[in-house]
A and B are shown apart, each in its own frame.
Chain A
Amino acid sequence: MRKPANEREIIACRTAQFFQDGNIVNLGIGMPTQCLDFLPDGVDVWVDTENGAIGLAGAPGENDEFPVDVVDAGGRPSLLRTGGCCFDSFTSFGYIRGGHVDITVLGAYEVDAEGSLANWMIPGKAAAGMGGAMDLVCGSKIVIVMSTHCDKKGNPKIVQKTEMPLTGYKVVNYIVTELAVIHITDEGPVLEEIAPTTTVEEVVAKTGAKLIIPETVKTMSF
């Protein structure tokens, strides 16, 4: 496995460390799919796509046969690995809602201390729709938000109580950023790990939620 080379890759690489061999994972469009570049040694996962397949294997390369009628959750052509399967939309969402997806990884506008997630609608702006996100966060065994710690203006994306329209209420288990790993527990958000380049003080200063700081906070290792 290669080492992460920038902040986005740090987020993807640390998130991938949650994956266990044989997991069914659903990866949101964009940054979450980068996790596959950083699978830990000996870990093989099966990629679920909510439009109806398990076993997606990424975009076709130059030498691959063009995959007719296999698309990912963004509608882009994708390869299907040996052992992969396809099914209809209500079977797909039946197992998503029914708790058969091990891990869902997706982005956030805001996530709060209770694990409530806002990632589909900004008040006052036109929304593109939630797609399958509301079902995924409500049914998956583990929900991981991967995101930059702050937005482009430097405002914390991890807040005490989000006022934005929700995607899911109390659904997030872990938040992974370029600075920290935060575990949402019944007691509140626990700062479990920080990046090698930061300090607990910096993470606290850049977080809008009141973090629980354990006696030892581990450092991310890659």
Chain B
Amino acid sequence: MAKSKVVSVAEAMKHCYDGMTIMLPGFVNCGVSPTLIDGLIEAGIKDLNVISNNTSVKGKGIGKLVHENRIKHITCSHIGSNTETCEKAVAGEIDITFVPQGSLAEKVRAGGAGIGGILTPTGVHTPMQEGKQLLEWDEEQGKYIFVEPDDPQKGARYILERPLHADVCFVHAYKADKMGNVVYHRTARNFNQVFATAADFVIVEAEHIVEVGELDPDEIMTPGALVDLVVQAEKEE
């Protein structure tokens, strides 16, 4: 029989530490992991380097980490849903690196899939290309060539985006079995599925924990092989 990965939140927090890079999937406050985030706050963990799509809303989910000043830097696509994050960004209390939402998903996919980088047309000729390498397809030479931002464009141009990887990822599941096989619900799936592939240590909080064998193998969206621990999710207040 497979060994159970189910632990308490406090036990799971033993794998989290100051200064770690953590992936926090979710879209606004849908599909975020409030139980594990409360655990981080309780455990006093700080100086986080966060990779997320946004920062929930004020006072909820990732917004709690913002409020408690636990975050040093965020890589994300949008902070507009949380006024407190915007205020702290303006005050210089949180460092933000914006990444277009599709590039974020694809950079993390690359990080989880062992790919050295991606070529995306998103953000070419925008501030997103600053400091990055640009490649253009040269039909005559039959190969990609590096170009500078001001070079006249002759062919399809792409930004070379590097993969993203994290120390820890918190995943919010609708159902998980005790081996960590995961099923998501509706749009709460969002970044959970891809982020779960790109961290050294993956902790799942599940609304419903079921016995191994209760999930149909075809409905499993994230294989338990990617998951290290499972905790019981509490309802967010």
A residues contacting B by CB (< 8 A) are: 49-53, 67-71, 74-75, 80, 86-90, 92-93, 96-97, 116, 121, 126-135, 138-139, 165-169
Residues of B within 8 A of A80 (CB): 186
Contact B126 A129 (CB under 8 A): no
Contact B128 A134 (CB under 8 A): yes
Contact B127 A53 (CB under 8 A): no
Given known A-B contacts A51-B30, A131-B77, A135-B101, A90 and B186 have beta carbons under 8 A apart: no
Residues of B within 8 A of A71 (CB): 27-28, 30, 187
Q: Once bound together, how far apart are the Cα atoms of A51 and B126, in whole Å?
A: 23
Partner of B98 from A69, A90, A129 at Cβ < 8 Å? A129
Partner of A89 from B81, B89, B105, B125 at Cβ < 8 Å? B105
Residues of A within 8 A of B96 (CB): 129
**Chain B, 23-63, contact with A by CB distance < 8 Å: what is the 0/1 string?**
00001111100000000000000000000011001000000
B residues contacting A by CB (< 8 A) are: 27-31, 53-54, 57, 76-81, 86, 89-90, 96, 98, 100-106, 108-109, 120-128, 174, 184-194, 221
Chain B CB count within 10 A is highest, among A67, A69, A126, A139, for A69
Residues of A within 8 A of B185 (CB): 68-69
- Smallest CB–CB gap between B127 and chain A, Å? 5
Residues of B within 8 A of A97 (CB): 102, 120-122
Chain A CB count within 10 A is highest, among B77, B81, B101, B121, for B101
Contact A90 B109 (CB under 8 A): yes
Residue of B nearest to A53 (CB): B187
Contact A129 B80 (CB under 8 A): yes
Q: Once bound together, how far apart are the Cα atoms of A129 and B89, in whole Å?
A: 12
- Smallest CB–CB gap between B31 and chain A, Å? 7
Q: Once bound together, how far apart are the Cα atoms of A129 and B112, in whole Å?
A: 25
